[in-house]
Amino acid sequence: DIQMTQSPSVLSASVGDRVTLNCKASQNINKYLNWYQQKLGEAPKLLIYNTNNLQTGIPSRFSGSGSGTDYTLTISSLQPEDVATYFCFQHNSWPTFGSGTKLEIK
Amino acid sequence: EVQLVESGGGLVQPGRSMKLSCAASGFTFSNYGMAWVRQAPTKGLEWVATISYDGSSTYYRDSVKGRFTISRDNAKSTLYLQMNSLRSEDTATYYCTRWGRPFDYWGQGVMVTVSS
């Protein structure tokens, strides 16, 4: 199975900051990489699909990039409502998720 | 509006069975593959099983193969997960999700606790 490693595991930033979350695959996943946001007590929500495509209804401050084994999720200006855990997910082969990055406000 | 509503969870003893259901609405259910994803308490997400749009193909993670069965009834727009020989490590919130982009819409989840 493809292993997905997210870093950092916890990120603390201030409102208005530009924030970058990282996800590294154990092998090339051909940009079949999604990002999900999960707020406490809620189901995950799709933010980005296939590396850089913004899901309908998601604010434009979220963006994704990457290729091969390395991918990033960027929030251009952190908002209080962005407090959540973010998971990356690959569907190039048997589906696997990263372990998550917990995003906090300083 | 896409809606996925799971039901059927609860407390079950190790070795027993449980069947989860997921009622779908707001989209043409028969056009989409569907899946179950679970999340153990305070843990990450784990794909469990996927079924094709017409039910002809199914896929499972190794740890549930031979114990869990994913199925669907397109006439009722409902997805199922039959879980047999349950183990403590199956304790989790189980989410029904649409294989759109994939996993573009999720239900609210249903808790399954395997304990004596």
Count of residues making up chain A: 106
pLDDT at A20: 98
pLDDT tens-digit series, residues A71-83: 999 999 999 999 9
Q: Which residues of B touch A100 (CB under 8 A)?
A: 44
Contact A49 B101 (CB under 8 A): yes
Summarize pLDDT for A19-41 with one digit per residue, the tens: 999 999 999 999 999 999 999 99
Q: What is the count of residue pairs from A and B with beta carbons less than 8 Å apart?
A: 46
Please identify among residues 42-81 of chain A the ones whose CB lies closer than 8 Å to any CB of chain B: 42-46, 49-50, 53, 55
Alpha-carbon distance B116 to nearest alpha carbon in chain A (angstroms): 26
> Which of A53, A55, A100 is nearest residue B44 as measured by Cβ atoms?
A100
- Check residue A105 and give its pLDDT: 96
Token look-up 């199975």 returns A1
- For residue B88, report the phi and psi dihedrals to the nearest 5 degrees: -60, -35
Token readout for B100 is: 């759109």
User: How high is the pLDDT of residue B100?
Assistant: 84
* Integer Cα distance of A47 and A68 in angstroms: 20
Q: Are A45 and A36 in contact (CB under 8 A)?
A: yes
Test B105 with A46 for CB contact under 8 angstroms: yes
Interface of B with A in 61-80 (CB under 8 A): 61
Query: Which of A35, A91, A101 is the best mutation test for B, with the most CBs of B within 10 A?
Result: A91
Alpha carbons A70 and A57: distance in angstroms, whole number: 26
Return the number of other C-beta atoms located less than 10 Å from residue B83's C-beta.
23
Q: Convert the pLDDT of each residue in B48-60 to its tens digit.
A: 999 999 999 999 9
DSSP lists the bridge partners of residue B111 as B93
In chain B, which stretches have pLDDT less than 70? none
